[in-house]
Chain A
């Protein structure tokens, strides 16, 4: 989402439900992830009842990645997607795990090394808004549960499109808007009441998980994100609602 202008002409953007100066958001998001990095996987399993693994699995199936491909996993966190991609591309291909947050990157790298992944994976600390890669580099770029934390989403999508090879795919897996009002109500109750308590009990940090719930609500809905991807230069953009629209998988192709 583009930064907003406040009456005082000072550029602000949202951080959960708060309005913060644009140049502060990245550091505040970084603080959240420094805080949760060590227990990120446990919390993901707890919060989603393990379903996040199925959402990621579907992303991998839709990626069309083959042996020899180059893949960029942005906001790769603890490396769930990278682990599978590294096996799929084989020794001739390569995968870049990128994350803006050093703590998350370190946890991801350790986890991948523990799983015997090494030769074809690189680790890069990078901001999605200005990816440090040449044009037309990757066959596939994924960003799973990361785009909503980016300050300037339009700029990040443009940067991904630039780094994508013609014919390549961008896949965005992100929380979205539930399509059923009843589900939406239950989901609100869960994420605003239960989630911060779980965060407090397991990770000792309720605020970070409150931010998670708020940032999901502030993220563009399915159609808006589709339009943003098209505006960034991607074509044949389509999305699939998962678990009643709690999460949506958007996919666009660079032609």
Chain B
């Protein structure tokens, strides 16, 4: 028997619990969910996943046999819908579209989704555990400054490149010039159409006169 799915599940569980342990808001949320059991039934690929909440995090299990009466909520969905759900799409909308079926406590699904999506990691606090408060704060400040500089440099570089390409070297037309060109082309197209129509009318007139 292969242990790969078990290994995968253990890895996901460990990662989620490690992330939850680093979120200062997680304990109060977990306390509200503690003792709840949610069964996720994926249709494609076919997989049942039981989520048990406890004060320190959650346990993920692939139950061999599922007795539905022991779960607070049973959710049936496919992998695509799971992606949308975790992407923040409204649960009600997915339910109305018939992509998601929930039996039992619907708020449990919402609370589970919020718990995972609203993770706010105190990474500076985690660094402080390893390095001490002052070095961790200095490092965090340094990283924040680097991130701000990188965002500003990115914005400035974009505007400098645009200025050079559109204004100085005139390698490409700007948006305004492009709109102007489109207007002129539209006008030219309409004039050509009118001229074509006049020529056609003239041809018909000449043919009629020749026939007389």
Contacts and interface: CB of A to CB of B under 8 A. Distances in A.
Contacts of B211: none
Interface in B65-109: 65, 67, 70
B74 to A, nearest CB: 14
A3 interface: no
Interface residues of A, number: 23
A58 B3 contact: yes
A60 B13 CA distance: 15
Interface stretch (A27-35, A86-94, A122-130): A86-94
User: Which of A64, A87, A90, A115 has the largest count of B CB atoms less than 10 A from its CB?
Assistant: A87
Contacts of B6: 54, 57-58, 61
Given A53-B10, A64-B65, A87 B59 contact: yes
Interface stretch (A148-156, A181-189, A224-232, A237-245): A237-245
10 contacts: A51-B3, A54-B3, A57-B9, A60-B61, A61-B61, A66-B67, A66-B70, A90-B35, A91-B35, A241-B1
A39 interface: no
Contacts of B67: 66
Interface residues of B, number: 20
A115 B3 contact: no
Interface in A67-105: 67, 84, 87-88, 90-91
A48 to B, nearest CB: 12
Interface string B174-202: 00000000000000000000000000000
A8 interface: no
A236 interface: no
Interface string A145-181: 0000000000000000000000000000000000000
Interface in B35-80: 35, 37, 52, 54-56, 59, 61-65, 67, 70
A116 interface: yes
Contact of A87 (B10, B52, B63, B70): B52
Interface of A: 51, 53-55, 57-58, 60-62, 64, 66-67, 84, 87-88, 90-91, 115-116, 240-243
Contact of A84 (B35, B37, B59): B59
Nearest to A88: B52
Contacts of A58: 3, 6
A57 B4 CA distance: 12
A116 B55 contact: yes
Contact of A64 (B3, B7, B52, B64): B64
A64 to B, nearest CB: 6
User: Which of B6, B55, B56 has the largest count of A CB atoms less than 10 A from its CB?
Assistant: B6
